[in-house]
Amino acid sequence: MFTFLIFEILSAVVGIIALGVLIVQIVRHSTAGAALKKRGIYIPAIVLVIAFFSGLIANKTYPPNFAMPAFMHSHAPGSVPASIPFGKIIEFFKYKNRFEKITDIGANPNLVPENSQTPDTDGRVRISLTAQEVIGEIAPGIYFNYWTYNNQVPGPMLRVREGDTIELTLTNHPSSLHPHNIDLHAVTGPGGGAVLTNVKPGETKTFKWKALNPGLYVYHCATPNVSTHNSHGQYGLILVEPREGLIKVDKEFYVMQGELYTMGQLGKKGLVPFDSEALLEGTPNYVTFNGKVEQVPRMHAEVGDTVRIYVGNGGVNLISSFHVIGEIFDTVYPNANIGGALEHNTQATAVLPGGAGIVEFKLDVPGKYLLVDHALARMNKGAWAVLEVTGDENPDIFSPVGKE
């Protein structure tokens, strides 16, 4: 495990000896020119260069089989830790007051764009997002330093159309402590746009891409350490509507599951620090629907409505068994793929971390319907949201016996 240390020490010892010999060789000659004429001087010089580079290589701690492609080495174990650098933590507390305090960090599930965004006169769809680090409330009295797109978790739901050319502009708010970027799973191209949108605090970058494949896709920050950025809240959904559009329904909702890794016990009040060990273990204190533990129902519909839920999973570790208590999905677009085989009469659908699903169902009976991850211990961690349905009772379908 520590064999790299032997190489490092060996390189350092050999390097120091070579450097010493080199200095002695130079000192022994009256001028540098005279020293360079001596063949003996090149041997310690070459040994020094070899020792220097072998020391650098030895510093890579992962075995070759485990190594990622060279251009992704920054993601490999050990090179970018999941933890936040200590200096940044100090900086955070030093400048704590400059971070915007967001009253309601949880994205409004009703804010689904009704139609795909209209292109500008030049035919391009222009979307702007701002990466901003803020302070928000996970649950009453529990505050967390969220990293967001547009000050909400998840970021805004985007809706474009298959074949659109999109110009996406990402700004990193000047108050941020970290660089950010955006990787949209709807993009065809390296990094899903991440490589073209690396923005330091205060910077803005734009890239363009063509939406080739219809579907519902996750977007997220892909700045190393990626899972650290995602588990601070940097994710959202983009719908690439098929050319012919989707069938109209009465109500559409936007819900994303996510995980928050915080130090201390579940329910600990105050400003709770990020826990990188829990992130690596995959043991979040909070599992949320739309960034926080819901306080009041936010989704409403009427008996008779057909609803569609665009559901995503920002992850980063847990697969969601998405279920609505008291309802059966009439239609599921598994993995949110549009154009593939649909499922009917389904109780739960798997929503993978970094994946999505689309479910549709008709409401027949009034009442409160809980959206959950049916790995139900996660309900205790906050993984639920309420759909409130009003309208006339429907005793033919549901009623206590004797009152029908």
Residue ranges binding Cu ion (CB under 5 A): 180, 221, 223, 229, 234
| Torsion sign (Cα): 241, 243, 249, 251 | positive
Map residue 66 onto helix, strand or coil: helix
- For residue 147, the minimal CB distance to Cu ion (Å) is 5
Give the nearest residue (CB) to Cu ion: 221
Q: Which residue has the tokens 């969220």?
A: 146
CA angle 53, 56, 58 (to 5 degrees): 110
- For residue 29, the minimal CB distance to Cu ion (Å) is 55
- For residue 134, the minimal CB distance to Cu ion (Å) is 13
Written as one letter, the residue type at 290 is N
**Is the Cβ of residue 44 or residue 353 nearer to Cu ion in the bound state?**
353
Question: Kind of pairing, strands 367-373 and 384-390?
Answer: antiparallel
User: 270-305: string of b/e by CB count within 10 Å (b at 16+)?
Assistant: eebbbbbebbeeeebbbbbbbbbbbeeebbebebeb
Spell out the residues 6+ positions from residue 177 whose beta carbon is closer than 8 angstroms to its own.
Answer: 88, 91, 92, 95, 133, 201
Spell out the residues 6+ positions from residue 144 whose beta carbon is closer than 8 angstroms to its own.
Answer: 135, 136, 137, 138, 260, 262, 271, 272, 274
**Is the Cβ of residue 132 or residue 331 nearer to Cu ion in the bound state?**
132
The C-alpha atoms of residue 2 and residue 10 are separated, in whole angstroms, by 13
- For residue 228, the minimal CB distance to Cu ion (Å) is 8
In the sheet with 165-172, reading across from the earlier edge strand, the strands are: 204-210, 165-172, 124-139, 142-149, 270-271
**Is the Cβ of residue 194 or residue 359 nearer to Cu ion in the bound state?**
194
Instruction: List Cβ<8 Å contacts ≥24 apart for 34-38.
Output: none
- For residue 171, the minimal CB distance to Cu ion (Å) is 13
- For residue 79, the minimal CB distance to Cu ion (Å) is 17
**Is the Cβ of residue 170 or residue 332 nearer to Cu ion in the bound state?**
170
- For residue 178, the minimal CB distance to Cu ion (Å) is 6
The C-alpha atoms of residue 371 and residue 381 are separated, in whole angstroms, by 14
**Is the Cβ of residue 221 or residue 299 nearer to Cu ion in the bound state?**
221
**Is the Cβ of residue 223 or residue 285 nearer to Cu ion in the bound state?**
223
Closest alpha carbon to 318 in 264, 268, 355, 357: 355
**Is the Cβ of residue 197 or residue 349 nearer to Cu ion in the bound state?**
197
**Is the Cβ of residue 274 or residue 333 nearer to Cu ion in the bound state?**
274
- For residue 199, the minimal CB distance to Cu ion (Å) is 9
The C-alpha atoms of residue 24 and residue 43 are separated, in whole angstroms, by 13
- For residue 88, the minimal CB distance to Cu ion (Å) is 13
**Is the Cβ of residue 223 or residue 231 nearer to Cu ion in the bound state?**
223
**Is the Cβ of residue 217 or residue 235 nearer to Cu ion in the bound state?**
235
- For residue 224, the minimal CB distance to Cu ion (Å) is 9
Q: For residues 51 and 15, is the Cβ–Cβ distance under 8 A? A: yes
Q: For residues 212 and 339, is the Cβ–Cβ distance under 8 A? A: no
Q: CA dist 28 to 20, 36, 309, 315, Å?
A: 12, 12, 81, 65
